[in-house]
Amino acid sequence: MRANPATIAADLRCVSQLFSYPDAAWALQPAPAESGARAASLLALMRAVDSIVLQSEYVRLFISAMPSLPCPPYGSVHLEGSVMGRTTVELAACYRKYGLVSEETADHIAVECEFLALLHRFAGRDAETAADCRFLVDHLQRWAGTFFDLVDRHDTLGIYREAAAFGRSVVAAVGGVADQFETAGSLLQ
């Protein structure tokens, strides 16, 4: 059975929301319309947690903890051992091709999933977009599993552990759909 690209894109947007800083604006964002019940339920569960408690856990896991950050949400940390590595620069260049510039680092899990959701909707249209989609999927799949494992190990609320399980399933699903686009892109050449 082939996954629906619109559903995969909505689920990627949901992963982006689940791993974005939970401020007041975040709390008002609706769940992506085409995401399934599991995604909407996770967002609702997360939003039901006291905002101070949720923000504190987010900061502890993903922004600042002593003596070290338990769950760095940046691909370059997992792939290269530091923030803003070569892969971050490559991702930012890819984003710029499509007019996206982010205030957050290009390889932050939320940014990467959000852009991949956008690109995923158009990946079957031409070979270049399909290749860029494959590049992003490959990048994400090389490090996201390690990131989700760390979230599993260090989350004290349990809600980020559930978000990691959902994220793991979405990252696995997007790989199969990217294969379809890559094949379609080669047929367009």
Q: Which pLDDT tens digit goes with each residue over 52-100?
A: 999 999 999 999 977 789 999 999 999 999 888 899 999 999 999 998 8
Residue 80: partners with Cβ closer than 8 Å, 6 or more residues away: 86, 87
pLDDT band at 148 (very low <50, low <70, confident <90, very high): very high
pLDDT at site 179: 58
The pTM assigned to this predicted structure is 0.89
CB-CB contact of 75 with 106 (8 Å): no
CB-CB contact of 174 with 118 (8 Å): no
Bridge partners of 74, per DSSP, are 108
